[in-house]
Copies of this chain bind each other. A is one copy, B any other.
């Protein structure tokens, strides 16, 4: 029996992710709101561009959209067949995952929240990390399809846990970004050579993914290439803070960081890379990180 895999949402991530599926599955459906993009994908990667209704016939359905709200809209338009597994790679909201899982359960459809990290380069190289919440049996069934696109495929807990880990990961990344920007602004103000300081810090306990990548590749070289939009990071930090409020936790740094990322998102054009959050500090301190 052949497994049919479908992919909904061919954005910067989805387009590249779905490209790997035809190498491993005979039948791969793709759909995109702007349908021309689905047709282009079909032509380029031997997937099949199908109407949304036909997506419902697939065994495993991936979705990768900007927000949980947009996934909800799609879910209201189609009803997957019993036994199907819906794998949502959106950076979504844990509460939405639980509601979606419950709703699909009545049709005997499993819902996995399975956000990914690794950015467009990881999507291209099939080296993404999948952090997955939801039913473990469904996870094992859907794993081969995820493995076609990723490297680390990790079940992290019940429904919503995948989204929670992603939101917290991105919040931590945002805190590291603010930390690096504040630290390097301080060094710049005191006349320290930033490239040499970065060498030291990347070899020391202050190292982070941000100091390793964002600082040299996006900020200090002033390129700020758009691969992950700042408003999406602002949304992720809000999801993280929502988790904090639901559990009545004390997390002062997260709250403050959310405020700063929000301020940066307010200041920058909507299509700015997340790394431009550094420019909020640059304008406040009148110091340019270069």
Residues of A whose CB lies within 8 Å of any CB of B are: 94, 117-119, 129, 131, 151-152, 154-158, 160-161, 164-165, 168-173, 175-176, 178-180, 182-187, 189-193, 196-197, 199-201, 203-211, 234, 238, 240-260, 262-263, 265-267, 281, 284-287
Contact = CB atoms under 8 A, between A and B. Distances in A.
Interface centre among A203, A241, A262 (most CB of B within 10 A): A203
User: Which 4 pairs from chain A and chain B are nearest by CB?
Assistant: A255-B255, A117-B204, A172-B206, A208-B208
A253 B250 contact: no
Contact of A186 (B157, B168, B186, B200): B168
Nearest to A265: B248
Nearest to A201: B169
A253 B161 contact: no
A243 to B, nearest CB: 5
A185 to B, nearest CB: 6
A164 to B, nearest CB: 5
A261 to B, nearest CB: 9
Contact of A176 (B176, B203, B285): B176
B185 A249 contact: yes
